[in-house]
């Protein structure tokens, strides 16, 4: 992975707003409606090229394909894994029902739980898990390679979902134990991980479920959740076996965008476990009021000296456009703690992690990105002068 040298590099978490015409086709396919497949694939390729150019124009250094081909950061796996069938008994149930947050603020969350975007179709594992997404993945890799031609960026990454996220959305009714199921998932998703790295891209493992388990399971203690996380970290490392850690960045976040979020698990309780993941960089929330202070937890964790920090400097959890000076100030904390070369400025999470669920309008997203880039430039100049 590239590191920040003369200036602080910028990136983001991966998911970006999809064009309206692409989103319309994606929704139709998800509903089982007939869609011209050639036209759909052409639209994806066109959208990837456009979103890569947009990132470059905004000044983003490390870019992605915006996840243009995916209905969401996780449900795309339903088409790439064999061994699953739709769980009709669990259809459209929100994962947040009964969570610590909803119990604490039921009146606030009631309208959100009624929103179609928070009610998702789950699947069950009913047979051996196998990876079958080679064709879709090949198209993703080729589309991003084509889009990067003639574009001035430092590097490109591709997000791929995690073992624990697949486990949460696709419940096990086939394997004899959690460990056996996790191993099977790791074997399958590992094939996608290795193909991304072999194609020359940086792999980003997306795993919000690793830290949202606490808020979604109020009956479990902190120690229970730590044990749960540790087992999933072992599975993640199994999926990453054979991949150099300097080609892997790990992203986690807290699932909720707009909300009080007083029950987000604090980094200080789990950073020691996260540090065991075989990744060369960590991406996490650091720009919103629930997590901005946690730079001290990451500093005090004493991670290896070669680990890169990719903290969020702008957030998807409000519509205010962060001032570039604020971005520069935030970066200052991280640079003081880790050194400029080990810090890359990013976003808290993805924008439109589920296609069509655009809580922040496109125009605001791009304005936030402009502040991210300008703030990184300000911080770079100040640190060079110092």
In a domain, 9, yes or no: no
Task: For residue 244, name the pLDDT band (cuts at 50, 70, 90).
Answer: very high
Is pLDDT of 90 > 70? no
Number of separate helices (H) and strands (E) present in the chain: 13, 10
In a domain, 1, yes or no: no
**Cα 228 to Cα 231: distance, rounded to the nearest angstrom:** 5
Is pLDDT of 263 > 90? yes
Print the domain residue range for 98.
20-385
Task: For residue 385, name the pLDDT band (cuts at 50, 70, 90).
Answer: low
**Cα 116 to Cα 357: distance, rounded to the nearest angstrom:** 9
Per DSSP (E only), the strands in the chain are 62-63, 81-86, 123-131, 155-161, 170-172, 202-206, 248-251, 281-284, 308-314, 346-347
In a domain, 15, yes or no: no
* 179-190 pLDDT per residue, tens: 999 999 999 999
CATH number of the domain residue 195 falls in: 3.20.20.210
Strands 202-206 and 155-161: what pairing?
A: parallel
Phi, psi of 250 (to 5 degrees): -110, 130
Q: pLDDT > 90: what percent of the chain? A: 84
Q: What is the mean pLDDT of residues 2-7?
A: 92
What is the pTM (predicted TM-score) of this model? 0.95
In a domain, 98, yes or no: yes
In a domain, 144, yes or no: yes
* 348-380 pLDDT per residue, tens: 999 977 766 678 899 999 999 999 999 999 999
Task: For residue 65, name the pLDDT band (cuts at 50, 70, 90).
Answer: very high
Is pLDDT of 242 > 60? yes
Task: Name the residue with higher pLDDT: 223 or 255.
Answer: 223
Strand order in the sheet with 281-284: 62-63, 155-161, 202-206, 248-251, 281-284, 308-314, 346-347
List Cα–Cα distances, 208 to 38, 61, 222, 284, 285, in angstroms.
33, 24, 17, 10, 11
Query: What is the structure's pLDDT at 96?
Result: 84
* 298-356 pLDDT per residue, tens: 999 989 999 999 999 999 999 999 999 999 999 999 999 999 999 999 999 999 777 66
Strands 281-284 and 308-314: what pairing?
A: parallel
Count of domains observed in the chain: 1
In order, the DSSP letters of 57-120 are HHT-SEE--TTTT-SBTTGGGGGTEEEEEE-GGGTTB-TTTT-HHHHHSHHHHHHHHHSGGG-B
In a domain, 47, yes or no: yes
Query: What is the structure's pLDDT at 32?
Result: 86
In a domain, 6, yes or no: no
Q: What is the mean pLDDT of residues 207-214?
A: 94
In a domain, 286, yes or no: yes
Q: Are 280 and 306 contacting, i.e. CB atoms less than 8 angstroms apart?
A: yes
């Amino acid at each position: 992975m590239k590191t920040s040298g003369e200036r602080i590099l910028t990136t983001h978490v991966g998911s970006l707003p999809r064009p309206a015409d692409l989103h319309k086709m994606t929704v139709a396919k998800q509903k089982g409606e007939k869609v011209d497949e050639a036209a759909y694939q052409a639209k994806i390729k066109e959208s990837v090229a456009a979103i890569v150019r947009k990132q470059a124009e905004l000044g983003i250094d490390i870019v992605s394909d915006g996840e243009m081909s995916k209905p969401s950061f996780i449900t795309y796996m339903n088409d790439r894994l064999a061994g699953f069938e739709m769980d009709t008994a669990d259809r459209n149930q929100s994962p947040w029902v009964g969570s610590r947050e909803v119990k604490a603020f039921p009146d606030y969350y009631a309208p959100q739980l009624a929103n179609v975007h928070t009610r998702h179709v789950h699947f069950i594992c009913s047979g051996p898990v196998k990876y079958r997404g080679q064709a879709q993945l090949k198209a993703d890799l080729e589309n991003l390679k084509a889009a990067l031609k003639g574009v001035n960026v430092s590097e490109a990454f591709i997000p791929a979902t995690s073992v624990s996220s697949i486990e949460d959305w696709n419940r096990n009714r086939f394997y004899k134990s959690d460990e056996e199921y996790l191993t099977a998932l790791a074997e399958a998703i590992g094939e996608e991980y290795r193909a991304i790295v072999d194609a020359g891209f940086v792999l980003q493992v997306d795993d919000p479920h690793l830290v949202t388990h606490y808020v979604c399971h109020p009956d479990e203690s902190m120690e229970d959740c730590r044990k749960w996380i540790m087992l999933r970290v072992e599975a993640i490392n199994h999926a990453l076996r054979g991949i150099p850690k300097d080609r892997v960045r790990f992203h986690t976040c807290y699932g909720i965008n707009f909300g009080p979020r007083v029950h987000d698990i604090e980094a200080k309780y789990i950073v020691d476990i996260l540090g065991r993941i075989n990744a060369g960089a960590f991406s996490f929330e650091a720009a919103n009021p629930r997590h901005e202070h946690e730079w001290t937890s990451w500093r005090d964790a004493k991670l290896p000296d070669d680990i890169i920090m990719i903290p969020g400097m702008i957030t998807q959890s409000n519509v205010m456009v962060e001032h570039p000076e604020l971005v520069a100030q935030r970066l200052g904390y991280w640079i003081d703690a880790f050194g400029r070369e080990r810090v890359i400025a990013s976003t808290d999470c993805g924008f439109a992690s589920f296609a069509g669920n655009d809580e922040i309008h496109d125009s605001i997203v791009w304005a936030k990105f402009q502040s991210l880039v300008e703030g990184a430039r300000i911080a770079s100049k100040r640190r060079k002068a110092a």
